[in-house]
Structure 1
Amino acid sequence: MLRDLAEAEWPNRAGLAALTAALGADNIRWVGGAVRDSLLGAEVHDVDCATLLTPDVVIDRCREAGIRTVPTGIDHGTVTAILKDGPVEITTLRRDVTTDGRRATIAFAGDWREDAARRDFTINALYAHPQTLAIDDYFGGRDDLEARRVRFIGDARERIAEDHLRILRYYRFQARFGAELDAAAEEACTALAHTLKGLSRERIAAELLALLALPDPHATLERMRAGGVLGVILPEACPAQLAALARLIAAEAGQGFAPDPVRRLAALLPPSPDVAEAVAARLRLSKAQRGRLVSAAERTANDCENPKALAYRITPQLAIDRLLLLGADAQALAEWTVPELPLKGRHVVARGITAGPAVARILRTVEQRWVAENFPGPDRLEELLGEALAQAALQR
């Protein structure tokens, strides 16, 4: 059963009241995720606003009310109001003039239903009055929420033809909210999977990672593979890799680790650094994401022998990635802080070794044994230094 919007916390935020006063209650509606998630009883972070006012009027009225705005998407009618309790995107009602599957040319509109008709799914086209919280539902979105059904507004193929990314958005929303599959949506996504080739890699990567960040996207990815969608965006994800993903998801949940999309992407790839590099480049991942993907691909069974030594060498995050992908226990690293070797070059010099390469060699020897013995305390460290000095003396 859906919740009452009045039970949610966010409509009472002081910043939203100030924004409503500045723009006029009848000129705006809260729309999209905040309304949808509140009806489901889910936590709300971002609030979006639709308005009858044009962007220049929004900016002027906010300025008069002392609210700072940023023209984050001015070409598409969007400005962002910077409020103390969180930013709010304010978008003028729109209608599509032309679309080519990648971008749309829009015109401002003056009708709430017309604006709703250009949105992707019925559950995303719910508009709430800022004061009464009455919801305008033009396409049966509330019923679809109740049924946990993700359904395109209008003809699924036409909506996908307007923006091919809606294929991936469908699967993400279905994985998050869906229980009952919509046959028309499933058929359209499968039939038009090839159109994803025309999208920018960045947009594909963002949607794929968002899907992988959900609690358990495995069944959805299996359906995407069966329908030929996954093969278009990630051909490396063969059945064996999907099985690896299922094991990883189970390991994360069993050991108390939050879902991690980059780690899960690594599970969908064969353990090959070259493949990881190629996929990271193709998806235009960040340098940090590329590094994690490549490190995960370098995993070997030997990594499980001493998890803390591995973490000391490659960082805890990278070590956790490898261990979970290998099906090993990574819980010891969850809150572990990498220790710093207390021994410095000056300590070796103080023991009679001339500053230079010999000092560095002795430090490396001591560090290797200190790590192998699980970072013992000062007394044992002093013994390790003594043993390394004796060994160095024999070699001279």
Structure 2
Amino acid sequence: MADTHLPGALWTQRADLAALVAALDPAGAGLVRYVGGAVRDTLLGIAVKDIDMATPLEPPAVIEQLAAAGIRSVPTGLAHGTVTALLAGGPVEITTLRRDVSTDGRHATVAFSQSWQEDAARRDFTINALYADPRDLAVHDYFGGLADLDARRLRFIGDAEQRIREDYLRILRYFRFQARFGSLPADPVAEAACSALAPGLKGLSRERIASELLLLLALPDPAPTVARMADLGVLAVILPEADPATLPPLIAAEAAHGIAPAPLRRLAALLPADPPLAEQIAARLRLSIAQRKHLALVAARTIPEEAARPLAYRVGREAALDRLLIGGASMAPLQGWDIPQFPLKGGMIVARGVSAGPEVARLLRAVEARWVAEGFPDEARVMVLLDAELAGRSDPV
């Protein structure tokens, strides 16, 4: 199990991590290991973002030993055995080895364990159940995760249906990890379990579903995976309005223009061109107010090329770009163009003899509308537009 070693990635050489290991395992008895994504991604040569550690030490002992070594910690999840060490290089989550006592499809009740294999057995996928000793970087693999990693194969640990029944979110995690790390053909056992148990997703919080969906859509090319989710009946449970066929053209357009993936843009592309419906879906997914507004704006789809700059001025460059991309329109109107600032101020109108108040605001709006319609001319032209508005007023100054 320990014939493979992590390559000497920079993060493994951090002095603060060495101090953390020394605090938790001063005698070198093997009481702490790196686990999960940091191990998996290092083996794949991918940059590591978060570092997690596992230990048979229970949370009170972890907190006490960190404090004795002068390392600050936060009890971020004591019920599940997690303590976060606050290090100079970034926080590290340290979780006590666990085994599941009971699960209900959303939450698990756990008991602490002294067995690394018991802890590995409760994880979702074999490639996420890899541990590495921080002293010699030897990798410990209990369920064939190394072979699966080499084959780009995503498998549940143990019985796929049982793992899903423990937490139905694992269905969405399966497709996200398949899109990120897997290759086709996918594991038929895993796909069959996801398809059969997809209705269980209805019992999850909408926030958890939205989070996983947006993480999937943020990946470089989730289109084949989204299409497969539709084929297996999974997408219809979480997003029945979605049309997977709209995603490949958008991803191609992003690549052609060198524009980074944006999950909300891709979500908007999946939905019908119906802003009120998009807003309803955003509310259903419990998206933030800002996300709801953006989704509704972008869902409107195509705009005439001449309307791109006025739209960008009104709703922002990002929303306008998203609509152009989704609609397959030219990016030319917004390339190299900075949104201008309206040069007319209320004080300039007052200086023309207009009393401060609602009439100033009305004139500002009227001149601004003409300024936008004329393609954002310079200040001299704005003053001509103001003169025209003043000349056409019927009310006394």
Query: Which deviations, in whole Å up to 9, do the C-alpha atoms of 1:205-230 show, x marking residues without a partner?
Result: 11111111111111111111111111
Q: For structure 2, which runs of at least 5 residues remain unmatched after alignment?
A: none
Asked if 1:30 is matched to 2:20, the reply is no
Partner amino acid for 2:55? T
Distance 2:66 2:334 in 1: 48
* 8 Å contact kept, 2:230–2:244: no
Between the aligned partners of 1:98 and 1:394, the Cα distance in structure 2 is 76
Matches within 5 A, 1:243-282: 243-282=245-284
Query: Aligned in 2, Cα 1:64/1:334: closer, same or farther, shift over 3 Å?
Result: farther
Q: CA deviation at 1:395?
A: 10
Whether the 8 Å contact between 1:345 and 1:363 is mirrored in structure 2 is: yes
Aligned to 2:93: 89
TM-score when normalising by structure 2: 0.92
Q: Paired residue for 1:207?
A: 212
1:274 deviation in Å?
2.8
Alignment correspondent of 2:122:
118
Q: How far apart, in 2, do the equivalents of 1:394 and 1:329 lie?
A: 44
1:297 to 2:302 alignment: no
- What does 1:144-159 correspond to in 2, within 5 Å? 144-159=148-163
Aligned partner of residue 267 in structure 2, secondary structure: helix
| Superposed CA RMSD | 2.1
1:357–1:105 Cα change, 3 Å: closer
1:393 Cα deviation from its structure 2 partner: 7.3
Q: Are the aligned partners of 1:15 and 1:83 in contact in 2 as well (CA < 8 Å)?
A: yes
Unaligned 5+ runs, structure 1: none
TM-score normalised according to structure 1 size: 0.93
Q: Identical aligned pairs, as a percentage?
A: 62
What whole-Å deviation, never above 9, does each CA across 1:141-192 have from its counterpart, x for those lacking one? 1111111111111111111121111111111000000114111111111111
CA distance in 1, matches of 2:241, 2:244: 10
Asked if residue 171 in structure 1 is aligned to residue 175 in structure 2, the reply is yes
| Cα contact 1:95–1:114 (8 A) shared by 2 | yes
1:288 aligned onto 2:290: yes
Does residue 142 (structure 1) correspond to residue 142 (structure 2)? The answer is no
3-state SS of 2:7 partner: helix
Q: Confirm or deny that 1:62 pairs with 2:77.
A: no
Deviations 1:268-294 (A, max 9, x none): 111223322221222111111111112
C-alpha separation in 1, matches of 2:191 and 2:226: 13
- Report the alpha carbon displacement of residue 336 of structure 1 after superposing the two structures with TM: 5.5
Q: CA deviation at 1:332?
A: 5.5
Q: How does 1:7-26 map to 2 (within 5 A)?
A: 7-24=8-25, 25=28, 26=30
**Secondary structure in 2 aligned to 1:153?**
coil
User: Which position in structure 2 is the counterpart of 1:49?
Assistant: 53
Which AA in structure 1 matches 2:341?
E
Map Cα deviations across residues 239-284 of structure 1 (whole Å, 9 max, x no partner). xx21222221112222222111111111111122332222122211
Aligned residue pairs, count: 390
Separation in 2 of the partners of 1:84 and 1:373?
A: 54
C-alpha distance in 2 between matches for 1:263 and 1:335: 21
In structure 2, relative to structure 1, the CA distance for the partners of 1:29 and 1:389 (3 Å cut) is same
The 8 Å contact of residues 5 and 137 in structure 2, kept in 1 or not, is answered as no
